[in-house]
Amino acid sequence: MSDGQRHSQECIFCEIVRGKVDAQKVFEDDLSLAILDINPFSKGHCLVVPKRHVPWWHDLSEEEVESLFRVARTVAGKIARAFEPDFVCMYARGRRIPHTHIFLVPTYKGDPLDRFFNALEGFQEAPVILSGLREKNSMEETAEILRSI
């Protein structure tokens, strides 16, 4: 058995996709599935996962990426209409559970996620060590490094 097969057999998201573990499905297409998170940050917090076991989103096929983000957009719209949040926060994970998943979290001014991202943005803007990263020469150097790879 290959590592990928073993991991997909042990993966909770793969078990959900195969119908072996119950989940509150919200929406799906041929390649992606949206479910309610069992540990929600707020009412309506969903996860969007590819149906194929892929740990990192950048390793998905083009079709899977298109599906994943199309499903995420559709479900974010449903969340926005249903719960009228200030914003539907989206971020991709795959670290703790090594199966790509997008978090869609309805957020409201002052809630824990809003405070977290405000703190993160404050950190991003404040430290002296990071301020040099915004300088033109540093930005050009970084862009050139990324373009050359």
Residue 121 clears pLDDT 60, i.e. is over it? yes
Residue 126 clears pLDDT 80, i.e. is over it? no
d(CA 20, CA 53): 15
Nearest by Cα to 52 from 27, 18, 22, 21 = 18
Residue 4 clears pLDDT 80, i.e. is over it? no
Same domain, 63 and 126: no
Same domain, 16 and 32: yes
Residue 5 clears pLDDT 50, i.e. is over it? no
Asked if 36 contacts 46 with a C-beta cutoff of 8 angstroms, the reply is yes
Domain that holds residue 123: 109-149
Asked if 11 contacts 53 with a C-beta cutoff of 8 angstroms, the reply is yes
Same domain, 82 and 132: no
Same domain, 37 and 74: yes
Residue 129 confidence (pLDDT): 66
Same domain, 34 and 85: yes
Residue 6 confidence (pLDDT): 46
pLDDT digits (tens, 9 = 90+) for 8-26: 458 999 999 999 999 999 9
Asked if 92 contacts 102 with a C-beta cutoff of 8 angstroms, the reply is yes
- Kindly name the residue from 45, 53, 99, 101 that is annotated as catalytic: 101
Residue 138 clears pLDDT 50, i.e. is over it? yes
The tokens for 148 are 């050359």
Residue 57 confidence (pLDDT): 87
Same domain, 11 and 55: yes
Residue 141 clears pLDDT 80, i.e. is over it? yes
Tell me the sheet residues that pair with 24: none
How much is the CA Rg of the chain, to the nearest whole Å? 18
pLDDT digits (tens, 9 = 90+) for 48-103: 999 999 998 899 999 999 999 999 999 999 999 999 999 999 988 767 889 999 99
Same domain, 129 and 95: no
Asked if 85 contacts 79 with a C-beta cutoff of 8 angstroms, the reply is yes
| 101: annotated active-site residue | yes
Same domain, 114 and 76: no
Task: Please tell me the total count of domains within the chain.
Answer: 2
Residue 139 confidence (pLDDT): 87
d(CA 12, CA 27): 18
